[in-house]
Amino acid sequence: MGQFKFLDTKINGMFIVEPAIFEDNRGYFMETYNYNDFKEAGHDLTFVQDNQSKSSKGVLRGLHFQINYPQGKLVRVIKGEVFDVGVDLRKDSPTYGQWVGVILSEENKKQLFIPEGFAHGFLVLSDVAEFVYKCTEFYHGEDEGGIIWNDPEIDIKWPLEKVDEIILSDKDKLWKSLEETNIRY
């Protein structure tokens, strides 16, 4: 295989990507995605859209999903640090409603792949974070759904001790629980 190490998580289809980093006195170089390397590792993914966001410490974005046009996402942080989470919403999955969370940072350069049929969210742990991700489906604003970030049924262990306050968008304050949402792909 090429320039990546692929690490499975406890949820089938969700994995961590560790790129090979080539450093010298000038800085570093790394590939962040290579179709052939991913395919050789069993991850035949086609991405159609790239997104980038910038957020302040304590901003929590999520838990988001698209209802009819689910997106797989390959996410990474290019500045700062976030706690990134994927929640399995696949109806026949033995891990339905379970989550995986990973620290992504400009230092560790790890990436997380969140498959289609998952909710996604992240909490910014550094003063500022720039977050970039590739998507397997285009964004459809009218198709957006979400689950409240602190749903006790999902019970995500957000590292709240690392932030002074949680900052949510108006939209993210209104999401309902997984049970109330009753989303199953």
Per-residue model confidence as pLDDT tens digits over 73-110? 999 999 999 999 999 999 999 999 999 999 999 999 99
The CATH code for residues 4-181 is 2.60.120.10
Closest CA to 99 of 113, 87, 82, 117: 87
Could you tell me the residue ranges of all domains in the chain?
A: 4-181
Give the tens place of pLDDT for each residue, 19-77.
999 999 999 999 999 999 999 999 999 999 999 999 999 999 999 999 999 999 999 99
**Mean pLDDT over each residue of the chain, to the nearest integer:** 96
Q: Average pLDDT, stretch 120-128?
A: 98
140 is catalytic: no
Q: What is the pLDDT of residue 184?
A: 87
The verdict on pTM exceeding 0.75 is yes
Amino acid letter for position 130: E
The H or E element that residue 79 is part of is strand 73-79
Q: What is the mean pLDDT of residues 169-185?
A: 95
Find the catalytic residue in 35, 64, 96, 185.
64
Separation CA 133–CA 112 (nearest Å): 9
Is 133 a catalytic site residue?
yes
Max Cα distance, the chain (Å): 54
Joined tokens for residue 148: 């409240």
With a cut of 80, say whether residue 133 has pLDDT above it: yes
The helix/strand/coil state of 42 is: coil
Percent of the chain scoring above 90 in pLDDT = 96
pLDDT at 92: 93
Q: Which of the residues 33, 35, 133, 140 is marked catalytic?
A: 133
